[in-house]
Structure 1
């Protein structure tokens, strides 16, 4: 395909910055409505910010992991849910790009295509002619209502007669949505459940997850692109680091915005900014965020460099990568907690962004891939000479 305008990372970054006022203005109502505002979704789509990891031949920009993380951080600072969904759709595009090229032609038939993802194999598939019949339910499907396709996961018959997880691309029109998304954090992501009942999926639209996890992708046209010759889990992890960094930056900026002229109630400090406790708190938070950014950009840089060099990842590198992810999530959560605690009683009002950021970073930290303790254990096993206890590396 031709005629697409491939945007540079700098232009995409500028477009994201230009949309910050709009995204911020809709964040509270989006949370209350449990889905992103229509105007925000349309503006982000029109700006090309949902196409960061779409193949260029379909109008995507194939931005590096480092640039993707930076752009997502800008959106996330304005509204963490908007940043999360942007990252989730970017991962959906990347995963779809692992499928056969003619399948991609179908999925990316329009420039508006958005693909949501659920990586847990909570469906069951049986053989049916030249395909599979799938039944199942998938949880935490971010942006499902605004998506056109979903990458579902199901346990299916393997060649040796056992069961193995398989990824399948299905149109959203063939799935049922259960609007069960009532949460304390990331409310505007609209991460509802989706369901399939006796859904037939052509075999060409399926990929064994063992192949994906071993980087045995089915696409020929994407094979030369550094963006699409990286491992799925490091790629997915790097896709979301900008969400955490954006939340941390937003919390620090919000704290400073409210600091001027504010006293510490029931003390002799007429200005909070003059109190030593404030100096300790803001320094601790700022340094934690600085350290978190080091780990985040280290993860993205390593991913980009290895993709450019077409260099394989060792098992130890994959486990170390997960350790870095856990550390940056823990640091951002701790920094946000310090800043929220130092923000005074008025900060608990729903109109105050800091309380939403605090709830959102907590929700972020509970994600199976992001959870600090899970990642620390995995990295610790490597340091102790033990093998990983997961295939998701």
Structure 2
């Protein structure tokens, strides 16, 4: 077992901000090659970004979700794909901490271990002696190229039993990567597909998904640690949302950096910064960023407070954290839209950052768990006294 001194949040934010030069330098390469640059991965590891959700007994930091939001926002200001990938790693890394302690010993024996994953049950599992055999394919597996393990979800079907979704941990060496990530946004995340062909998973690395969704976890050593007794979906929401805030801030920075000396073509404005329209656009975008930050912060604070106190979650609270995530994504996108519209025709060139920022944040808003419309509707259903129409709450 290994323990290490946990850096304060301010130190982790300082480290994240210090990564900006390398992440920005490699952003165009990552987009062209559709994966994070090795140098960026090494820099993130050196800064301790992959340790944020690792138990302290393995040298991890056991950070709360407020720290995740703020670190992701810092990373997102440098490169959306790098921030998204780091945030996605935090979720299945946390999920690995729900497994039996001997499984964690295996997973976290790798320094700066990276665990990718998915919540989509797009594979089948057949029970065999000592475990299950899995066959199937998963898409949108962000960070797969640099991962050591994948958290998978499959439907287990066997004789004399009802189909049941399971969650399992599989070494990446047991899976095949399909290089199919050809997209318009978040291209640098390398969110490829992975395939399992007759992959045996021992029973200790398998958990029933319904039990996980009901906070029935298998770890004994993590049971008393606040961050590991929260529900999965609030944790996933808090882990993801900071990237959207960071991208919106990046859009504002990119716009303001290009503003000096720019004029508004085909008008009498020789300086765009003197136009009342520009004042309205910058102010409106900034207010939306502030609102996005509020929703992201309320989400994280809810998760952290309830985890620390060990309180039961109400259905309304569960729905609200998803609504907060959707609202933050929507507002961040709206802010980026305003600033991109104000950036003029020259902003569509590939070497102008705001075009990539806009595509990245649009892609985030299309994610099934982050989609603002889906999350707002879910919250409204619960507020109106109806049961949720999803298990992912």
Q: TM-score normalized by structure 2?
A: 0.98
CA distance in structure 1 between the partners assigned to 2:278 and 2:47 by the alignment: 40
In structure 1, the residue matched to 2:243 is 243
Q: Give the 3-state SS of the residue equivalent to 2:329 in structure 1.
A: helix
CA drift of 1:321 comes to 1.6
User: In structure 2, do the counterparts of structure 1 residues 389 and 179 end up closer, same or farther at CA, with 3 Å as the change threshold?
Assistant: same
> In the alignment, is the contact (CA less than 8 A) between 1:347 and 1:354 conserved in 2?
yes
| Backbone CA RMSD of aligned residues | 1.1
The 3-state SS of whatever aligns with 1:132 is strand
Whether contact under 8 Å (2:3, 2:60) holds in the other structure is no
**1:67 maps to 2:67:** yes
User: Which residue pairs with 1:150 in the alignment?
Assistant: 150
In structure 1, what is the equivalent of residue 85 of structure 2? 85
Shift of 1:2: 2.8
On the 8 A contact 2:115/2:151 being kept in 1, the answer is yes
Say how many residue pairs are matched: 393
Matches within 5 A, 1:64-213: 64-157=64-157, 161-213=161-213
Runs of 4+ in 1 over 3 A off after TM superposition: 157-160
State the 1:314 CA deviation: 0.5
- Residues 347-389 of structure 1, C-alpha deviations (whole Å, 9 max, x = no match): 1011111000100001000101000111111011012111100
Q: Does 1:227 align with 2:227?
A: yes
C-alpha contact 1:131 1:202 (8 A) present in aligned 2: yes
- Conserved in 1, the CA contact under 8 Å of 2:234 and 2:321? yes
Q: Distance in 1 between matches of 2:61 and 2:325?
A: 25
Aligned counterpart, 2:14: 14
* Residue number in structure 2 paired with 1:31: 31
Name the SS of the counterpart of 1:201 in structure 2: strand
Question: How many Å separate the matches in 2 of 1:113 and 1:326?
Answer: 29
Between 8-17 and 289-298, the greater mean CA deviation after superposition = 8-17
Unaligned runs of 5+ in 1: none
Contact 1:8–1:61 (8 Å) recurs in 2: no
After TM superposition, give the deviation of residue 3 of structure 1 in Å: 4.8
Most deviating of 10-19 and 65-74: 10-19
Q: Report how far residue 284 of structure 1 moved.
A: 1.1
Unmatched runs of 5 consecutive residues or more in structure 2: none
Aligned partners of 2:238 and 2:299 also within 8 Å: yes
Please name the residue that 1:366 is paired with: 366
| SS of structure 2 residue aligned to 1:177 | strand
Please report the TM-score for the alignment, with normalisation by the length of structure 1: 0.98
| Distance in structure 2 (CA, Å) of the matches to 1:380 and 1:159 | 40
Offset of 1:8 from its aligned partner? 2.3
CA distance in 2 between counterparts of 1:160 and 1:61 reads: 44
CA gap 1:159/1:86 in 2 versus in 1, 3 angstroms: farther
In 1, distance between residues paired with 2:290 and 2:189?
A: 27
Distance (whole Å) between structure 1 residues aligned to residue 47 and residue 330 of structure 2: 32
2:287 matched to which residue of 1? 287
Structure 2 distance, partners of 1:5, 1:17, is: 20
Match of 1:354, SS? helix
